[in-house]
C-alpha cells in the first residue's frame, strides 16, 4: 500500500453522500485520468471496458489481471486524488483468484473496487465479495467494496419482479461485505428512489443522456454517480468521426473543439 492510501481511503468513503453525490467521469488511461482530475474531480474511477479497449481487449473478463493491475498502478501514480478500480468480475476464475486481484489492487494504491455479478449466480458474487473483504482486512486496508448488480443493465429476470430481485441481491452482497451497491441500467426516478430507500449502503447509479442530473439523483437518495464507459465512447467516437472526415472528404472540421496542445501537454510537464 502507498503511504497516502489510508488518508485517500477515508476521504473516498466520506465522499459518498446524497447531499452532494460523488460524481465520477470514468477514466481508462493515464491521460484521461489526468484530464478528469484537472477538471476538478475529487476522485478517479476507472472503466474496465475503456481500459480493456485501450489495451486491445474486448470487455468481459478478457483482459488479464497483470495488465489490468499495471494500468491501475499507473493511474494511481499519475493523480493526487483517490482511485477506485473497476475489476469486472474480479479477474479470477474463483474467489481465490479475486482475492489475488484485490491484493494487487491494494498494492497498486487504489482505495476501492467494483465487482460485478453479470450473469453469475448471486451466491457466487457473494463469495467473491467475501474473499475481497477478507483480503483487505488481512492487509489492514480500508477498501471501499462496490458491488454491481446487473439485473437492469442485462435485463435479467421478469421485469415485474426485477426491482425485488435487485434488492434481494443487494442485501446478499451487503451481508457479504459490500460497502456500496451499483445498479447500472436504471434511470426511472421512482425505481431509483425505491433502490435508495431500501438499500442500506450508498447507492451508485450509472448516468448518461436522459438520466436525471447529479443533483436530482442526490435528492432521490443516490450517493454516487458514474459514467461507466461513456467518456471513452465519446472519445473514440471523436476519433472515428475525424478519421472518416479526413478519409472521406479530406476535411478537418472535426478537429475543432479539441483540447489545446499546451493545456494537455502541461498536465504531464509539471511535477504532480
Domain assignment present for residue 144? The answer is: yes
- Share of residues in the chain with pLDDT > 70 (%): 99
Domain assignment present for residue 241? The answer is: no
270 pLDDT more than 70: no
Q: Which residues form the domain of 25? A: 5-229
272 pLDDT more than 80: no
Hunting for cell 483482459 — which residue is that? Answer: 63
Domain assignment present for residue 255? The answer is: no
d(CA 209, CA 133): 34
1 pLDDT more than 90: no
Q: What is the rounded average pLDDT of the residues 254-262?
A: 95
| Residue 215 burial (10 A CB sphere; 0-12, 13-18, 19+) | exposed
Closest CA to 113 of 76, 151, 150, 84: 84
Residue predicted with more confidence, 47 or 272: 47
Domain assignment present for residue 64? The answer is: yes
Domain assignment present for residue 247? The answer is: no
Longest dimension (CA), the chain: 60
Q: What is the pLDDT of residue 258?
A: 96
pLDDT digit string, tens, across residues 98-131? 999 999 999 999 999 999 999 999 999 999 999 9
Q: What's the structural domain count of the chain?
A: 1
Q: What is the pLDDT of residue 269?
A: 83
Residue-wise DSSP of the chain: --TTHHHHHHHHHHT--TTSPEEE--B-SHHHHHHHHHTT-SSEEB-HHHHHHHTT--SSS-S-HHHHHHHHHHHHHH-SS-EEEE-TT-SSSSHHHHHHHHHHHHHHT--EEEEE-TTS-HHHHHHHHHHHHHHHHHHT---EEEEE--TTTTT-S-GGGHHHHHHHHHHHHHHTT-SEEEETT---HHHHHHHHHH-SS-EEEE--TTSPPHHHHHHTT--EEE-TTHHHHHHHHHHHHHHHHHHHT---GGGTTPPPHHHHHHHHHS--
Q: What is the pLDDT of residue 271?
A: 59
Q: What is the pLDDT of residue 3?
A: 78
Domain assignment present for residue 156? The answer is: yes
pLDDT band at 48 (very low <50, low <70, confident <90, very high): very high
pLDDT digit string, tens, across residues 178-215? 999 999 999 999 999 999 999 999 999 999 999 999 99
- Share of residues in the chain with pLDDT > 90 (%): 96
Q: What is the pLDDT of residue 2?
A: 75
Q: What is the rounded average pLDDT of the residues 151-160?
A: 95
CATH number, domain of 94, equals 3.20.20.60
Domain assignment present for residue 266? The answer is: no
List residues bridging with 44 in a β-sheet: 83
Domain assignment present for residue 256? The answer is: no
Q: What is the pLDDT of residue 233?
A: 98
List residues bridging with 237 in a β-sheet: none
Amino acid at each position: 500500500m502507498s503511504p497516502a492510501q489510508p488518508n485517500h481511503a477515508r476521504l473516498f468513503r466520506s465522499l459518498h453522500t446524497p447531499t452532494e453525490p460523488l460524481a465520477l467521469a470514468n477514466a481508462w488511461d493515464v491521460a484521461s485520468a489526468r484530464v478528469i482530475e484537472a477538471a476538478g474531480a475529487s476522485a478517479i474511477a476507472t472503466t474496465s471496458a475503456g481500459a480493456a479497449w485501450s489495451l486491445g481487449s474486448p470487455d468481459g473478463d478478457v483482459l488479464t489481471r497483470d495488465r489490468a493491475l499495471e494500468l491501475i498502478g499507473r493511474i494511481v501514480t499519475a493523480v493526487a486524488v483517490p482511485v477506485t478500480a473497476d475489476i469486472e468480475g474480479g479477474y479470477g476464475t474463483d474467489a481465490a483468484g479475486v482475492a489475488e486481484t484485490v491484493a494487487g489492487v491494494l498494492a497498486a494504491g487504489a482505495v476501492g473496487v467494483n465487482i460485478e455479478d453479470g450473469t453469475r449466480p448471486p451466491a457466487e458474487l457473494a463469495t467473491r465479495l467475501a474473499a475481497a473483504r477478507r483480503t483487505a482486512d488481512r492487509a489492514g486496508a480500508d477498501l471501499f467494496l462496490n458491488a454491481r448488480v446487473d439485473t437492469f443493465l442485462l435485463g435479467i429476470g421478469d421485469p415485474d419482479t426485477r426491482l425485488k430481485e435487485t434488492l434481494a441481491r443487494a442485501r446478499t452482497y451487503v451481508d457479504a461485505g459490500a460497502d456500496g451497491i451499483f445498479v447500472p441500467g436504471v434511470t426511472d426516478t421512482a425505481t431509483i428512489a425505491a433502490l435508495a430507500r431500501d438499500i442500506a449502503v450508498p447507492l451508485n447509479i450509472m448516468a448518461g443522456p436522459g438520466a436525471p442530473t447529479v443533483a436530482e439523483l442526490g435528492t432521490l437518495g443516490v450517493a454516487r454517480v458514474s459514467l461507466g464507459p461513456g467518456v471513452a465512447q465519446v472519445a473514440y467516437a471523436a476519433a472515428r468521426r475525424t478519421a472518416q472526415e479526413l478519409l472521406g472528404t479530406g476535411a478537418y472540421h472535426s478537429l475543432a473543439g479539441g483540447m489545446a496542445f499546451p493545456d494537455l501537454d502541461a498536465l504531464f510537464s509539471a511535477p504532480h
